[in-house]
Amino acid sequence: MENKNAAAQFLELLQQEAERFNSSEMMSTPDGGWTVKGFIDVFRNVYTISGDTKVVSKLIELMLFPHFLAFADKHNLKVIPAPEQNYYPDLTFVDNAGRKFALDLKSAYRIDENTVSGMTLGAFTGYFRERRSAKNITFPYGEYAGHFVLGVIYTRVAIRPDEFRSHTLDELEEIPSVVKDLRFFVQPKYRIALDRPGSGNTKNIGAVGKTAALVNGNGPFTDLGEEIFDDYWMFYLTSDMARKAELPKPPYNNLPSYFAFKQPPAKSGGDE
């Protein structure tokens, strides 16, 4: 119970921080454009960036790190970044009682007014199932009091900057932003998770694709709770995983088939 209360308090503080990001000009210019215009060399030349999703995501992540350090200091938390690039989570926060909170940073661009591109929420194999394992994770999964996602949704700008020329610092305002209208949110991981993997041949948990569901945390596991989310994904099998386990097919592939699989067969009326 103490862990759940601490996790709820941590979530509330993080959500307040995300709203501060949304209401300030920390990441956006007055017209909604991203404040990042490019990168600078020692000669003070500014080179524009592309709108590639990996580039945008990494730069947003780097911009947020100093603010998370300030956030941790303000709330008497210790913050530990992932020791390696492919480790989960991006940041670990530790409170004075030693409770750990995982925070992963995710981003997606708007496809239309209500839909965003796909997010994935980390692996459902490896450390997710072996909850005492320290492989590819800062601390074993089971040691965390809560698992959270800070997401940012943005719009890609149609007008691309000229990537074949450099600019001076005095020309920053002439460089168009590659993305605009950034929207930050924080939710527990299970509340925005889908009951199917992310796109492609991946062993990562998929996230809901509707903007409102992401921001408000209204995924299919929200009402079911984190215990169902954990059980569902700890035993989920892809077709390849089922074949390796010598099964004809996965025992379930969505929530309805999961509950049917979990439901014990009814006894025959003639049994005594």
Catalytic positions are 90, 104, 106
Determine if the peptide bond prior to 89 is cis (ω within 30°).
yes
Q: Which residue has the tokens 């925070």?
A: 103
Angstrom distance (rounded) from CA 131 to CA 127: 6
Contact 172, 126 (CB under 8 A): no
How many other CB atoms are found less than 10 A from the CB of residue 169?
Answer: 10
Residues counted in the chain: 272
Tell me the DSSP string of 177-192.
Answer: PSEEEEEEEEEEGGGG
